[in-house]
Amino acid sequence: MDRRSFLAAAGAALSAYPGLAQNSGKQTQNVILVTTDGLRWEDLFRGADPAQINKTTGGVSNPDALKARFWRDSPEERRELLMPFVWKTVAKHGVLYGNRDRGSDAYVTNGMNFSYPGYSELLTGAPDDRINSNDQIDNPNVNVLEWLNTRESFRNRIAAFGAWDRFYYILNSRRSGLLVNDGYTPLHTNTPNDRIDLLNRVKAETDIWGSEAQDAPVFLLAKEYFRTARPRVFYLALGETDEWAHGGRYDLYLNAAHRVDRYVEELWNLAQSMDQYRGRTTLILAVDHGRGAEGASWRSHGQKVPESKYVWMGIMGPDTPALGERANAEPVTQSQVAATLAALLGEDYHAAFPKTGKPIAEAIQPAAK
């Protein structure tokens, strides 16, 4: 959809749903969306995989040390050890989708099972056959952050930080006008900030992968921006889980997943310490694709790895019931994330773009009457 068509659709949606956000009855006023690239549902729900704690397929140089850190007898113990915030907080107070062992499927619909198509589906609410590579090409589709930015109450109060240098294109910052800081691009501020200057330098000087910055400086830079700018919608996209998986290092992959959990907890605790966010913020966790399950296939994903279409997602906030880990549930798709994010803020993205996935209804409490 081009810019003119998008604005027309946005205007039509506003006319059809006047005052939706103000009259929705939702308590959510802010949303934090966090993704970690290619983290398998198997690891989230089962914890460390014994089939990969080895040198042959897992590339683990010291299996005993990794077992001491992340191995316990039951999947419940292992997964809590790996991602304690997800299991002690999100699973307790929100909802988690994607444990196929318990009959809860979450999957991508784009058929590609790799990053750009995955993030595009997640953020625009629909697959697009034109999105078939990871090339630096501006996304022709309007994303939910861009759409929200057309509303007065959200305008210039939305930001995205990504480890991968493709988010500028995925979110089409040239067209959308969104603040997108990705890859090794420094963050520029209107007022002096020594912390941001230092983190810009650290990020630039810790280049390993070229197109993807390390998670730590990306997170710390994002956290500092969040603390000072206080956006209403904030997207943080981390990437080391995918990089270490492609590198065949299961030990470093687990370490990265564990750090992601800690970063999410830090960001959530920071939000809860601020009046703007406390009790008024919903957290959404998601991934762009899954990975292979057997042998060395855990390192890969894509069309040749069919099981990599399976993903997971979590939602926690004042409008989300504490359903916990879902079992024998209706499947959910990556294409539903965008409309769910908007609906939590009282906005109907699906009405504006009917080809997108519908909001996950059970994850949003009915509006108060």
Residue 318 lies in a domain: yes
What is the domain range of residue 307?
Answer: 3-361
Residues with pLDDT less than 70, the chain: 1-24, 367-369
pLDDT at 23: 37
pLDDT at 264: 98
Percent of the chain past pLDDT 90, that is, above it, reads: 91
Residue 56 lies in a domain: yes
Residue 237 lies in a domain: yes
Q: Are 287 and 33 in contact (CB under 8 A)?
A: no
Q: Strand 158-162: give its sheet, edge to edge.
A: 179-182, 158-162, 233-238, 30-36, 281-286, 313-316, 95-97, 324-325
The CATH number of residue 97's host domain is: 3.40.720.10
Residue 368 lies in a domain: no
Residue 327 lies in a domain: yes
pLDDT at 367: 60
pLDDT at 25: 83
Residue 267 lies in a domain: yes
pLDDT at 365: 86
**Residue of 47, 60, 51 whose CA lies nearest to 250:** 60
CA distance 53 to 74: 16
Cα distances (angstroms) measured from residue 224 to each of 57, 187, 218? 38, 11, 10
Domain count, the chain: 1
Residue 366 lies in a domain: no
Residue 230 lies in a domain: yes
